[in-house]
Amino acid sequence: MAAEKKQPELRFKGFTDAWEVWKLSEVINDIADGPFGSNLKTVHYTDEKEARIIQLSNIGESGWKDENVRYTTFEHAKEIKRCIVQENELVMAKMMPAGLTIERPKTDKMYVLSSDAVRIKLNDTLVDSKYFVYITKSNYFLDQINNDAQGSTRTRTSISKIKEMQISTPIFKEQKKIGSFFKNLDNLITLHQRKLDKLITIKKSLLEKMFPKNGACVPEIRFKGFTDTWEPRELGELCCIGDIDHRMPPSVLVGIPYVMTGDFIGNNDIDFENAKCISEEDYEQLSLKIKPERGDILFARYASVGTVRYVENSRKFLISYSCAILKPYEDIEGKYLYYYLQTDVANQQIEMEINTGSQRNIGIDSLKNKIVISVPKIDEQIEIITFLAKIDNLITLHQRKLEKLKNIKKSCLEKMFI
């Protein structure tokens, strides 16, 4: 089928040959799917680490994900030997994210397929395995999958449809170069993700130890020179708490950002660029009672109850009535409250006051009168803020690096494949 020849927008220096188009059936030597589904008998599972079942949750954007560990017996794996994934074979998701492909982990363990995936043995004289993994992430390939995939609740594809999909390939040397480029990029993404996860874990641990636990009047660890006990105060004593008028204003193309909890991104960021915009007139009317300003805390009252953002800038915007606005009084540091509201102690109190129904929510009165904050003197508040802000800055730095790498990968996937 190599009659149609094309070239991508971006290539490595020195490569000029046209690319060839193939059906997958022409470049795959063997393909099979797995038997593991909802009708699998309990007797086929084992707690022993025998044959690892590859499930949809193991197929990640950057490769193998070690999640939802399940095993079947070696005996049963041998009975379904066509479903055993050999080293150097690939695994493709049949269900969402249909088409996503990973390499089998390079270990001496035995792996077998679930019904959510297929194993693929490529003709390795035509297509490099790493190249194939990344071309299945390209828009051209995913569009084919999405157009042909079926299913009302869980979109899925099939072996017969996979065989009909098309890919474009350059000469083998260029394929190897492209595959290695994306693999190195994925390794960088994984490295930054691990650093980010480690920092988030460190912050969580510090939040546990730098604020008093329930019933305690001092924290487990504190800065040198501070010995005073902490004072319990109701949140309503420490800040003015309110929300804007409960009316959903119409959108305008250009106007004042109207932020909702879905616009909370990153560590303490707000996505103003993609937020809904409202007119100046609606802004003035809705903000008569209260409006967000620099130094305030935004507190999600609905859905993701308890999620907080500290307003770092003086930008003009409005926050939906799904959030409360906390305006700290002069005897409390606002950022201290922001960090305290992220602790397990605060979250446990918040959880106790949540109203359940069609949508989880917490009332303004509950925030004012039911949430108790342990407060040290201002000097100690400032020490805590300064220390945790450094951790936050590192988290934000790694988040931005990670986002930049993911954007580079996305752009390259669009430009380096046909």
Spans of all domains in the chain? 5-171, 231-375
pLDDT score at 3: 44
* Stated pTM of the model: 0.84
pLDDT score at 40: 53
Q: Could you list the pLDDT tens digit for every one of the 418 residues in the chain?
A: 544 557 899 999 999 999 999 999 999 999 998 875 544 566 678 888 899 999 888 998 888 888 888 898 898 888 888 889 998 999 999 887 788 899 999 888 999 998 889 999 999 999 999 999 999 999 888 888 877 655 545 567 889 999 999 999 999 999 999 999 999 999 999 999 999 999 999 999 999 999 999 889 999 999 999 999 999 999 999 999 999 999 999 999 999 999 999 999 999 999 999 999 999 999 999 999 999 999 999 999 998 999 999 999 999 999 999 999 999 999 999 999 999 999 999 999 999 999 987 789 999 999 999 999 999 999 999 999 999 999 999 999 999 999 999 999 999 999 999 8
Scanning the structure block, which residue is given the tokens 């995939």?
149
Tokens of 155: 């979109």
Please indicate whether the domains covering 5-171 and 231-375 agree at the CATH topology level: yes
pLDDT score at 75: 87
pLDDT score at 42: 66
Residues in the chain: 418
Superfamily covering domain 231-375: DNA methylase specificity domains (3.90.220.20)
5-171: what fold? Adenine-n6-DNA-methyltransferase TaqI; Chain A, domain 2 (3.90.220)
